[in-house]
Amino acid sequence: MEKLHHYARLVRLDRPIGIYLLLWPTLWALWIAAEGVPDLTILLVFMAGVVLMRSAGCAINDYADREVDPHVARTKTRPLAAGLITPKEALGVFAVLGILSFLLALLLNGLTIALSLVAVLLAATYPFMKRFHHLPQVHLGAAFAWAIPMAFTAVTGEMPPLVAWLLFLAAVLWTTAYDTMYAMCDREDDLKIGVKSTAILFGQHDRLLIGVLQVLTLLLLAWVGILSSLGGGYWFGLLVAAGLSVYQQWLIRHREPLPSLQAFLNNHWLGMAVFIGLAVDYAF
């Protein structure tokens, strides 16, 4: 039982924020593709897939960072960094969760199954990117947003339309913005150990560039709303999302680790606001 507890901490079941941040864009896509509530089987497959893929991503992330995490204040108590599980065990957890995710995808159509292979590739490679370039947050954005074209193919059985790719791009930019806030918490440690991030790349312009990403995200979501002929509920949701974006800018104004983490966590409510707006709009 103790080992299972360590595995649960490895995949961050005690910190579900990543599940939420992956779930909301997935639900955006499913509702828009289905023009309302999607087929129950498809909905359940994607919700389970969100939990499994986020958990798998955490496992491979900690494996990739096994030499780094012990030197970062926020991550040194993670099970792998603390020596409570072995690197082989972390890889095993990743493999099992990846296989379970693929088996889930087999319940969907062939095009969606093919796209799911890209999802696994993105999830498996993301944690290693911080060693090669300063844009691992963009790579994470692509990994999180890939559920969007998958959702459209699952619902329609066809290649995703323009609106799906606009939504995909919005999710990539949104993820890059909030994960830069997250990276601001570790910037000093990351500089010491030599790993890369957008927080380091942006430097003194971090707040400005996060703001640009937030504005572009909202503009793309507005474009999606126009193309999908969405009404007042959706636009109110976007208005709330805009307000939360301003609040996040206020939180990171001094670039302090704890408020930056709070700004990152606040994006759960932003994603929820957009979804509730969508759901209300299609319901009425």
Successive 10-residue mean pLDDT values, the chain, 284 residues: 89 94 98 97 97 94 86 83 90 93 94 94 88 90 97 96 98 97 87 85 94 98 98 97 98 95 97 98 94
In angstroms, what CA-CA distances link 54 with 80, 191, 227? 17, 26, 30
- Residues contacting residue 83 through CB under 8 Å, at least 6 positions apart: none
Helices H, strands E: what count in the chain?
Answer: 13, 0
Element (H, E) at 85: none
pLDDT of residue 194: 82
State the Cα torsion 270-257-203-268 to the nearest 10°: -10
83: left (phi over 0), alpha (psi -120 to 50) or beta: left
CA–CA distance, 138 with 126 (Å, rounded to integer): 9
Looking at residue 131, the DSSP 8-state letter turns out to be G
pLDDT of residue 187: 86
Largest CA distance in the chain: 53
